[in-house]
Amino acid sequence: MVSQAPDASLGEAASFIKSPGGAPANVAVGLNRLGVQSSFMGQVGDDPFGHWLRDLVAAEGVDVTPLSLTREARTTIAFVATRRDGKKDIAFYRNPGADAQFSLANLKAAPFENLGVFHCGSVSLSLDPCRTAQFEAVERARASGALISFDPNWRPSLWDDFDLARDLIWQMMPLCDVVKVADEEWEFVTGTADFEAGAARIRALGPQLVVITRGREGAYFNVAGASGNVRGFEVEAIDTLGAGDAFVAGLLAQLMQSSLADSLEEVQMHEILRFSNACGALATQKSGAIPALPTRAQVEAFLGA
Ligand code: ADP
């Protein structure tokens, strides 16, 4: 539920518009719009909002076989207000929420064979049984040879214990190949404002690529032997909601076009992040998350212009 007020806190906002989204679902739809078949794993309530979300994501071409419906809890809802500086005010209605009730038993329907990439965040780490199910899902995806992508996507309002959040995020790191962090979360996640030092800490545990999204500044990358910034595009941003997820969809779609080792060459990184920045920039030009995700044709037209 997203406030349309250009610069208001959640308390100040007078009305909210139903706006489908949620980080991993945004990435799944974003990938499909870029021509990459995706599946969404998770859980919604067996209620009107849950049915609406499932149908909407399925209509985008996302395989929803691993998406469960439950009567035990309601579909989780987030209320979002965006401030002019791009900062978001977010409150979750999730006490309990269907997503957090996703358990090991729900993994049965999930297709772990022939996966190119498995992408996840940290909202699903904040409560059990979903937390346990996520670690198991990542292990299974790794065992099947998938590239593991992680966006810590830290949402402070979902955590009573920030140290636990950080611990769980760091338990994920050794299981991942690609880690994307937004610049405003960087210091919380890594404990340093320094990009090089924080990225080195993450890469020492196994991930081969660390990317920091930096809003209009673009993105920073760090791989073995190279690091740097790839400038963002000058656009008139209307709503930055979903920009990070559009960026991740672009990044993963590009990484899947060749082997990870080839992608991590410095020249390729610049090309890949230019494409990802274009996806992010285009997503800022429409309001909402899912409705704002660009198609491949839109990204190519934007880059060619
Ligand atoms: P997150 O949504 O994860 O916080 P950002 O706000 O940093 O991520 O945005 C993700 C990406 O989207 C950026 O790296 C950039 O490529 C693009 N982007 C975001 N805001 C703007 C903007 N105002 N102008 C141009 N590009 C932007």
| 224, burial (CB in 10 Å: exposed 0-12, middle 13-18, buried 19+) | exposed
Distance 77 CA to ligand 1 centre (A): 23
Residue 85: what pLDDT?
Answer: 80
As a whole number, the mean pLDDT across the chain is 95
Q: Which residue has the tokens 């199910």?
A: 133
Q: Is 281 in the pocket of ligand 1 (CB under 6 A)?
A: yes
- Looking at the DSSP bridge assignments, the partners of residue 226 are 223
With 80 as the cut, is the pLDDT of residue 86 above it?
no
pTM over 0.85: yes
pLDDT band at 288 (very low <50, low <70, confident <90, very high): confident
Mutate to test the pocket of ligand 1, among 210, 247, 248 (most ligand atoms within 8 A of CB): 247
Distance 218 CA to ligand 1 centre (A): 7
Query: How much is the average pLDDT of 126-149?
Result: 97
- Ranking 164-173, 273-282, 286-295 by mean pLDDT, the lowest is 286-295
Tens digit of each residue's pLDDT (9 = 90 or more) over 176-233: 999 999 999 999 999 999 999 999 999 999 999 999 999 999 999 999 999 999 999 9
Tens digit of each residue's pLDDT (9 = 90 or more) over 253-275: 999 998 999 999 999 999 999 99
**Could you tell me if 33 and 296 are in contact, meaning their C-beta atoms sit under 8 angstroms apart?**
yes
- In order of their start, the domains of the chain are 21-75+99-304 (3.40.1190.20)
pLDDT band at 110 (very low <50, low <70, confident <90, very high): confident
Sheet strands side by side (includes 147-150): 117-120, 147-150, 178-182, 209-213, 219-223, 226-230
- Looking at the DSSP bridge assignments, the partners of residue 2 are 17, 80
pLDDT band at 4 (very low <50, low <70, confident <90, very high): confident
Q: Are strands 2-3 and 16-17 parallel, antiparallel or unpaired?
A: antiparallel
Mutate to test the pocket of ligand 1, among 85, 183, 213, 214 (most ligand atoms within 8 A of CB): 213
